[in-house]
Amino acid sequence: MGAGIQVSGLNASYGSNHTLFDINLNMPANNATALIGPSGCGKSTFVRCLNRMHETNPIATVTGKVLIGELDIYKDLSPVEVRRRVGMVFQRPNPFPTMSIYDNVASGLKLNGFSNRRVLDEVVERSLKDAALFDEVKDDLKKKSGASLSGGQQQRLCIARALAVDPEVLLMDEPASALDPVSTAKIEDLIFQLKSQYTIVIVTHNMQQAARVAENTGFFLNGKMIEFDATHKIFTNPSDKRTEDYITGRFG
């Protein structure tokens, strides 16, 4: 099951560069939430705050409160515990190049000391099926490297890898921006199906994509969240002038 996300008073910066200003946001469980906005508006920084990835940069700081389910990820959990609950898919596919397809998917469990063969086999198969990749790779699971797959397959492999540790939330930072239209459509279908099991937060530059996959959409500009509402409302009748200007292509 997915968990809801409540963000209040979130501020983030890189050194002296303040990148997120007082973000307040409520993302319901088992929904997809899209974050849109021009490049550099802080949407990537925002999702990186949701799994405490932001602070892996030594000059990065973050303040505020992020509740995932009942737990404050900055108070009640260590970064490692947070990232077990909040999986992430990155902009560019990043499979582990020296590992087989199987090991890529199993890595999160294996490297955390989980070694029951039978259960691992099951988890790998289920995750690859959930990521709609199983049929394409089932004959090469242990023979081929994750890096030998096509870009779209690699991204679905990365999704399977994230699903294998059974997170509550899945963050996707422009997961289809490096992919061709066919692969993009596959990823979007996937997001639709994954919603039943996970809460999804997706950053995207593609507004049609946001409209297709997400119940709610947030619009970011210059480190502030300008508007957050039901997706159809944002795209048909935004309440802020700046949102309207952006979605109608007047800037950004």
Partner 1 sequence: MSDYAATGIAILSTVLVVAPLVAIFIYLIYKGASSLNLAFFTQIPKPPGESGGGMANAIFGSGVLLLIGSVLGVPIGIAGGIFLAEFGRGSRIANAVRFTADVLNGVPSIVMGIAVYSLIVLPQKHFSALSGGVALGIMMIPTITRTTEEMLLMVPNSIREAALGLGLPNWRSVLSITLRTASPGVITGCMLAFARVAGETAPLLFTAFGNQFWSANLNQPIAALPLQIFVYAISPYDEWHRLAWAGALVLIVLIVVSVALVRYVTSRGVLKGAS
Q: Which of 145, 177, 197, 206 binds partner 1 (CB under 8 A)?
A: 145
CB atoms within 10 A of CB 84: 17
Q: Which helix (H) or strand (E) holds 25?
A: strand 17-27
Nearest residue to 183 (alpha-carbon basis) of 118, 117, 133, 221: 133
77 binds partner 1 (CB under 8 A): no
Q: Between 29 and 147, whose beta carbon lies closer to partner 1?
A: 147
Binding to partner 1 (CB under 8 A) within 156-185 occurs at: 158, 161-162, 165
Alpha-carbon distance of 235 to 75, in angstroms, equals: 36
Residue 242: CB atoms within 10 Å: 18
Tell me the closest approach of the beta carbon of residue 127 to partner 1, in angstroms.
12
Give the C-alpha separation, 245 to 63, whole Å: 30
Nearer to partner 1, 62 or 165 (CB): 165
Count of residues in the chain: 252
100 binds partner 1 (CB under 8 A): yes
9/151 with CB nearer partner 1:
151
Token couple for 78: 């260590």
Q: How far is the CB of 191 from partner 1 (least distance, A)?
A: 18
Per CB under 8 A, 126 contacts partner 1: no
Instruction: Determine the 3-state secondary structure of 94 from DSSP.
Output: coil
Residue 137 binds to partner 1 (criterion: CB under 8 A): no
Given 8, 112, 115, 222, the residue binding partner 1 (CB under 8 A) = 112
Residue with tokens 């990749």: 133
Residue numbers at the binding site for partner 1 (CB under 8 A): 51, 53, 56, 79-85, 87-88, 90, 92, 94-100, 107-108, 111-112, 140, 143-145, 147-149, 158, 161-162, 165
